[in-house]
Amino acid sequence: MRFLAAESVEAGIVGLLREEGHDVLYISDTAPGVRDERVLRQATTERRVLLTNDKDFAMLAFLQRMTSAGIVLMRMPHARSRTKAQHLLDVVARYGTRLRAAMTVVEPHATRRRPLPRAPRPQPSK
């Protein structure tokens, strides 16, 4: 699967995903400090599922209705990177391409998915 990992994601998770054969770009390597809007646009343009620990991306997708190729929000603040990565690998194995066009929240004992809103279509000019 193709991912774009936000800066909030631990390098250990990125490494383990790569070891498992996933195509993962890491913002910390390519564009540290870039704004969240740009990160989400890049993930969408490159058709990568955004991987993050940051709830701000959910606000961009749901409140500001920015388009997204999918967002996986890791909500496991006290877990070690290896534990988070294993949960994520389990979620990828279970949902696969259904992670696209959805907001998936991965918690220690549950995974929730919700379709992402579609961007509003431009109104034709009169």
Q: What digits encode the pLDDT tens for the residues 46-96?
A: 999 999 999 999 889 888 888 889 999 999 989 998 899 999 999 999 999
- pLDDT tens string 18-52: 999 999 999 999 999 999 999 999 999 999 999 99
Tokens encoding 113: 């998915």
Radius of gyration of the chain (CA): 14
Q: How far apart are CA 36 and CA 16, in angstroms?
A: 24
- CATH of 2-115 given 3.40.50, 2.60.40, 1.10.260, 1.20.120: 3.40.50
pLDDT value of residue 81: 86
pLDDT at 119 over 70: no
pLDDT at 116 over 90: no
Could you state, in order of their start, the residue ranges of all structural domains in the chain? Answer: 2-115
Q: Phi and psi (nearest 5°) for 86?
A: -65, -40
Asked whether 74 and 42 are in contact (CB, 8 A), the reply is: no
